[in-house]
Amino acid sequence: MSASPSPVIVLVRPQLGENIGKAARAMLNFGLTEMRLVAPRDGWPNPAAGPAASGADIVLANAQVYDTVAGAVADCPHVYATTVRKRGVTKPVVTPEQAAADMRAAPGRSAILFGPERSGLETDDVALARTILTVPINPEFGSLNLAQAVILVAYEWSKGEALASPPEVTLDPPAPQEELEGMIGQLDAMLVDANFFFPPDRTPTTRRTLRTLLTKPRWTSQEVRTMRGVLSALRGAKAKRST
């Protein structure tokens, strides 16, 4: 667990309620719950945020609204601005991974600023931060939406937290060889009836190829029964057509 409080996610002048909801969902996925909104364009609360949050209601319910960026980060000694380098602004630049490590090591609250969907943070917003946080990204296509940016940063923070991994799903055991041989034999008999093996001198090679194909997957007993049911149905359909 980290020694420092979880960082605050600050959405600066967000435009769409749906994007606020998606950002809340991204936050809660990785254990972050404190959202602050600076002058949301459509006001707050926004009815479009709830459905987009997909159950991250606690984040939306506790979201605080501020008129200015300065007010939103007033209690945070460590402020990060998610942006590319701004011309004329000279500040340390870190990746999400480095920022997460720094936030965990530093005492006091940290705030991470995310700009409006269309334009990002303005230079005056970045000027309030102490550090620029930049995500390494394809220079040919640098378009991240708001929720994507939040989830990248939240994920890096979560690496230092005791979050539970998704539950493991118990897989069915593989089928015994006897069951697999029965399925292969059934298919082989049907292929003989259908004159599939031609020319005759290629039959051993073709049979080996089919066996290799059918023994590659990790067949379960249920899968074998299902496939044999399919083969039986095909045989029955052929018999009906021939009568």
Give how far the C-alpha of residue 61 lies from the chain's centroid of Cα atoms, to the nearest Å: 24
Q: How far is the C-alpha of 107 from the C-alpha of 5, rounded, in Å? A: 8
Does the pTM of the predicted model rise above 0.75? no
Residue ranges, comma separated, of all CATH 3.40.1280.10 domains in the chain are 8-158
Average pLDDT over residues 5-16: 96
Domain 8-158 homologous superfamily, CATH: SPOUT methyltransferase, trefoil knot domain (3.40.1280.10)
- Higher local confidence (pLDDT), 9 or 141: 9
For residue 95, the model assigns a pLDDT of 94
For residue 164, the model assigns a pLDDT of 58
pLDDT at 212 over 90: no
Matching residue, tokens 């009906």: 240
- Higher local confidence (pLDDT), 238 or 221: 221
Contact status, residue 191 vs residue 144, Cβ threshold 8 Å: no
pLDDT at 193 over 60: yes
pLDDT at 243 over 80: no
Share of the chain above pLDDT 70, in %: 91
Q: How far is the C-alpha of 120 from the C-alpha of 81, rounded, in Å? A: 10
Q: How far is the C-alpha of 183 from the C-alpha of 36, rounded, in Å? A: 61
Average pLDDT over residues 157-171: 74
For residue 166, the model assigns a pLDDT of 64
List pLDDT tens digits, range 67-116.
Answer: 999 999 999 999 999 987 656 668 899 999 999 999 999 889 999 999 99
pLDDT at 162 over 80: no
pLDDT at 49 over 60: yes
